[in-house]
Structure 1
């Protein structure tokens, strides 16, 4: 996995995480894991998905911003 932090195949109940995520701060890892788990219920990035994500992790936007600013995916 070179271009994403994580992916989810809801129909197969498979979540894959990028091994580079191990270098990220814990709060960023938690964000990616919760984000992918939410895809098991909402397999898209709809408004319902983000409402669901916010219910479990109200500060997800700050965590996502930190991940994007401080952690680089090596392509």
Structure 2
């Protein structure tokens, strides 16, 4: 899975960093979220989904690897 945060949409609510602290960090300058790594290990995928659902600005997008899950290769929640 790959995860991205659209910086133009992120308003720094910090929910993603609270839900998935091993996936998201907050920028020291503007407080906006950013992925620690673009690629997310399998054990953290559900946290990414939960964070994306919780984002009030819908700034989090993720792409599921085709080899891991053939059903959907991109999602925005």
The structure that is strand-richer by fraction is 2
- Do the two structures share a fold, i.e. TM-score over 0.5? no
- Please give the TM-score of this superposition, normalised by the length of structure 2: 0.36
The structure that is helix-richer by fraction is 1
